[in-house]
Chains A and B, each alone.
Chain A
Amino acid sequence: EPEVTQTPSHQVTQMGQEVILRCVPISNHLYFYWYRQILGQKVEFLVSFYNNEISEKSEIFDDQFSVERPDGSNFTLKIRSTKLEDSAMYFCASTKNDGVGELFFGEGSRLTVL
């Protein structure tokens, strides 16, 4: 069964460092998302991506964050200068059809900022 894969599963970094989280969405999906979940809290929307551009983004997704799809398979989230409060689990998701489609999630990348 096709699945969304994320790497790394866990990354520890120093405050101020750049981090790139990688995702390989399901191959025939067209809409891609990043969510984050601070430990024990709700799943928060960060950004959605369609047709090689951002379609929606939340207030959380400030200038420190960026996304790109550098090739036909990877979808990356970059945090330019990490802060302590960026420590969270980051989930990538994809769907074939926006509007009614279920999201398929990866297993998440845990980011710990020291």
Chain B
Amino acid sequence: GNSVTQMEGPVTLSEEAFLTINCTYTATGYPSLFWYVQYPGEGLQLLLKATKADDKGSNKGFEATYRKETTSFHLEKGSVQVSDSAVYFCALNAGYIPTFGRGTSLIVHP
């Protein structure tokens, strides 16, 4: 079956540090890949997406590139802010059951 593996958290960074959250996936077919963000007390919101190999999704300074050869979709941001503190979920949709990773908590200190 399909699965998503994310790096364990929490990830703790100082403001303006570089962020990478690793995500790898296993899927049949050609899934679309997503990063969702969950701020404290809220639901999940789409952060960015990529629908085919080599596509780069980007939003709010975050980027992720769909790498078919390594089955990865790592999330990056060059300079994090305190307001980026949240839980980040990598997900895939291959046409049956949208599948989520376990989530990675990001804590950004001033």
Contacts and interface: CB of A to CB of B under 8 A. Distances in A.
Interface residues of B, number: 23
Contacts, number: 57
A106 B95 contact: no
A33 B98 contact: yes
Interface in B4-62: 32, 34, 36, 42-46, 49, 51
B43 A99 contact: no
Interface of B: 32, 34, 36, 42-46, 49, 51, 89, 91, 93-103
Interface of A: 33, 35, 41-43, 45, 48, 56, 58, 91, 93, 95, 98-108
16 contacts: A42-B102, A42-B103, A43-B44, A43-B100, A48-B97, A56-B97, A91-B43, A93-B44, A99-B32, A99-B93, A100-B51, A102-B49, A103-B46, A103-B91, A105-B44, A105-B45
